[in-house]
Amino acid sequence: IASQLDALKAAGTTRVLILPAYPQYSATTTASLFDAVYHWAGKVRNIPELRFINHYHDDPRYIAALAGRVKRHWQDHGRPDVLLMSFHGVPERTLHLGDPYHCECFKTARLLAEQLGLSKAQYKVSFQSRLGRAKWLEPYTEPTLIEMGKAGVQRVDVVCPAFTSDCLETLEEINMEARETFLHAGGKEFHYIPCLNDDPTWITALCDITQQHLQGWPTQAVPDAAALAASRAAALALGAKQ
């Protein structure tokens, strides 16, 4: 992050919009990104104007892109007995400290279920990637899959709405380890629905969200080379060093 901000500043950038890849806000993810930006800014003499997008977990364009991804999978492969929405896990204490992540995950799940026309019995929410001995947000993904497999659920589809791009946590932990867990528990069919990645509907939505947060900044008008050269010459004449 610091090196990219250095490069932008060196190129003359005066305004920067920070857009997290995390739809739901968490101190462990979104805020850690902001911390990195603030750390960089604390060492810079002339800071560009900064804006931050905190979240877009309930943005209709994000929800519509998610729903479209799921619907296309179902068109090609049929529908499951249960759709499991598995979110990245965080320690439970973050919820008690005021972190909105838990609530935002459940809101995303509810809105997605509404877009898909699912009843409460047709989808579940869980949290993956628990580490250490501390209690994390529940229900946990792996025990949930084991419970469903033992209960006779034949097919489960899993989608990971906390990730906009596939990574080890989706491709290995879910599509490999979670798959094996469910099938070993008695399930018959496991489908992982890929993240949004470069889906055109999502890229358009991301562009729209970005443009919305850029409002008020002159993003189109660019001074010509002659005007920039004249401005620089005037600054140097007044004592500027570069």
Partner residues linked to 126 by β-bridges = 86
Query: Could you tell me the pLDDT band of residue 229, with boundaries at 50, 70 and 90?
Result: confident
Of residues 131 and 125, more confidently modeled: 125
pLDDT per residue over 111-126, tens digit each?
Answer: 999 999 999 999 999 9
Mean pLDDT within 140-163: 97
Can the peptide bond before residue 139 be classed as cis, meaning omega within 30 degrees of 0?
yes
Chain-centroid distance of CA 159 in Å reads: 13
Mean pLDDT within 149-161: 97
Nearest residue to 128 (alpha-carbon basis) of 172, 65, 187:
172
User: In this structure, are residues 67 and 123 in contact, taking their beta carbons and an 8 Å threshold?
Assistant: no
Does residue 138 carry a pLDDT above 80?
yes
Question: How are beta strands 189-192 and 49-52 bridged, if at all?
Answer: unpaired
The reported pTM is 0.88
Mean pLDDT within 160-181: 96
Q: How far apart are CA 85 and CA 65, in angstroms?
A: 15
Of the listed ranges 51-55, 174-178, 224-228, the one predicted with least confidence: 224-228
Does residue 168 carry a pLDDT above 90?
yes
Residue 222: the pLDDT is: 63
Nearest residue to 216 (alpha-carbon basis) of 18, 4, 49, 93:
49
DSSP classification of residue 226: H
Q: How far apart are the first and last CA of the chain?
A: 24
Chain-centroid distance of CA 106 in Å reads: 14
In 90-210, where do the E strands start and end?
Answer: 123-128, 155-159, 189-192
* Residue 200 region by backbone torsions, left for phi larger than 0, else alpha for psi between -120 and 50, else beta: alpha
Residue 110: the pLDDT is: 98
pLDDT per residue over 53-82, tens digit each?
Answer: 999 999 999 999 999 999 999 999 999 999
List of domains in the chain: 78-192 (3.40.50.1400)
Mean pLDDT within 125-135: 84
In Å, how far are 53, 63, 96, 152, 190 from 164, measured between CA atoms?
A: 15, 12, 26, 31, 21
Mean pLDDT within 211-232: 80
Give the whole-number percent of the chain exceeding pLDDT 70. Answer: 97
Does residue 19 carry a pLDDT above 90?
yes
Chain-centroid distance of CA 205 in Å reads: 13
pLDDT per residue over 195-209, tens digit each?
Answer: 999 999 999 999 999
| Average of per-residue pLDDT values in the chain | 93
Q: How far apart are CA 224 and CA 15, in angstroms?
A: 18
